[in-house]
Structure 1
């Protein structure tokens, strides 16, 4: 398993790669393992997905820092991939943000995303956002940078000003956050290709994130078009969760209607696929290795 520092370096390398980094969102260890198996370079610990899938509540800032830290610890233990963490508002002002950074860094996060909404925050593709002053967000970014002990950890600064104010305000804020030291910029919810082009042109210089929300406010485009518009990261925060939701609903409807599962065998992962995904053969080998008479080196048994 690579160290947290090695994963942070790997994420930085991926951000500087020749093409956009495709970042799938995951809500649990299963999702992280599937993303790893599929060959992705990193995963995104989605805050909305955590709220929905693990707690059954909407993305309205209801999940606590402690719950996020526990969740991230499980994710980083379950995959070799760098984990980009949605840290919402940092859970308070600059001092609270410093504590958030330290706890999530200790949990193994490769990157943290902070946003400029007031608490409690709302999903970026909802309406009625309220923002903190840009200078306050700059102070939180500065505090976050001071708090990290590993300079390889990436800081993503997101602004929701496009929804709360205007695209001009969002671009102005993003420039301010870059000046404060953010590593990556994330202008949430541009409304058109023209708006995406403005973001890509006027914020060129740092890696830029586009959040692809199926049915959301930002146009869905081929990856090459996002790249041509200047975006370095294509975030698909809840594609996996929504796909699994649909598949699970179909599976349960079948069980409720028929009382059997044998006829859907081809729509399920096999027993062997499941066990291999969770490394049962390796655990079995380790168990067999230690399930034998043992003595310390140089000591006769």
Structure 2
């Protein structure tokens, strides 16, 4: 292990006994704040980059190029703080995944996260997600493993099976992806503390969990997660949610009109056109049938 690489620094954290808490970042300012407040790691949130960077909902509208550029800015600002970076579905088939991994690695990330949703993906805490077959995602994982030039780059495999297929399938896929070589496994959106406990008990791999404010997974104390054996807890909305709420308040104080804001991730995405973009997708889906 070369401790000078981002991946090695993250692996050193994972080898310790403490839960790694990674606040979500999406720009240079957030990265600077995380670095200066003493966190051991940060998480490049695709939802945050979509919403705050481009004014778009997290429904697969960003490109690999846009995400890689943002990853480079954030990783550079973080300095020695390792960055776990969301790479959605890898932006294509195994060949595309190879290019994605190479680009993210050059950008300076410590870990790259890939998920088993069909393209275009959706935020993990939205309904109507669609998955690719597990064996197809395993091919992407093999491509990612072959593509990394630093063997310490951490590969995070995320399954979104809990929503459309249930927790049994999610656990089955999580174990499959671990056997395929994923360094860390991420079961998205468990619905109860019982499911959180079951995943920890039945998945044989280092585990990442996603704490989304207002999302489907119950907020769980870090000490509880650590005791269950989770190794990483990401908090994508740690900076984004206060930014939106305080930003709206500041604008209203200047004389603006408070828009109707729904609860949770869906409400956030509605502020940046979720309904409009969903209607576009449905309209063209019907044309192509």
TM-score range, shorter chain: 0.7 to 0.9
Worse-matched range after superposition: 136-145 or 247-256: 247-256
Q: Distance in 2 between matches of 1:7 and 1:96?
A: 23
Structure 2, unmatched stretches of 5+, are 257-289
Aligned position for 1:70: 69
Contact kept? 1:5, 1:152, Cα under 8 Å: no
Q: Distance in 1 between matches of 2:228 and 2:83?
A: 25
Aligned position for 2:284: none
Q: Distance in 1 between matches of 2:220 and 2:69?
A: 35
Aligned position for 1:176: 176
Aligned position for 1:116: 116
Q: Distance in 2 between matches of 1:42 and 1:248?
A: 26
Contact kept? 2:72, 2:108, Cα under 8 Å: yes
Q: Distance in 1 between matches of 2:21 and 2:77?
A: 20
In the superposition, the TM-score normalised over structure 1's length comes to 0.82
Shift of 1:170: 0.4
Shift of 1:77: 1.8
Aligned position for 1:224: 223
Shift of 1:9: 1.1
SS in 2 for 1:112: strand
Shift of 1:251: 2.6
Shift of 1:4: 9.4
Aligned position for 2:21: 22
Aligned position for 2:101: 101
In the superposition, the TM-score normalised over structure 2's length comes to 0.85
Aligned position for 2:44: 45
Q: Distance in 2 between matches of 1:21 and 1:77?
A: 20
Deviations 1:43-89 (A, max 9, x none): 11100000000111100000001111111111122121111110000
The answer as to 2:104 corresponding to 1:130 is no
Q: Distance in 2 between matches of 1:21 and 1:171?
A: 22
Aligned position for 2:92: 92
SS in 1 for 2:230: coil
Aligned position for 2:143: 143
Structure showing greater Rg = 1
Q: Which runs of 4+ in 1 moved over 3 A?
A: none
Q: Distance in 2 between matches of 1:76 and 1:209?
A: 20
Shift of 1:256: 3.6
Shift of 1:222: 1.1
How many corresponding residue pairs? Answer: 254
Aligned position for 2:152: 152
Deviations 1:256-289 (A, max 9, x none): 48xxxxxxxxxxxxxxxxxxxxxxxxxxxxxxxx
Shift of 1:203: 1.1
Contact kept? 1:4, 1:108, Cα under 8 Å: no
Q: Distance in 1 between matches of 2:220 and 2:86?
A: 23
Q: Distance in 2 between matches of 1:76 and 1:210?
A: 21
Contact kept? 2:88, 2:115, Cα under 8 Å: yes
Contact kept? 1:197, 1:230, Cα under 8 Å: no
Q: Distance in 1 between matches of 2:67 and 2:251?
A: 29
Q: Distance in 1 between matches of 2:213 and 2:73?
A: 27
Deviations 1:165-219 (A, max 9, x none): 0100001001110111000000001111111111000014x22011111111111
Q: Distance in 2 between matches of 1:173 and 1:230?
A: 19
Aligned position for 1:214: 213
SS in 2 for 1:89: coil
Q: Distance in 1 between matches of 2:40 and 2:158?
A: 21
Contact kept? 1:14, 1:21, Cα under 8 Å: yes
Aligned position for 1:6: 5
Deviations 1:227-262 (A, max 9, x none): 2222111110112111122222223333448xxxxx
Structure 1, unmatched stretches of 5+, are 258-301
Q: Distance in 2 between matches of 1:178 and 1:92?
A: 21
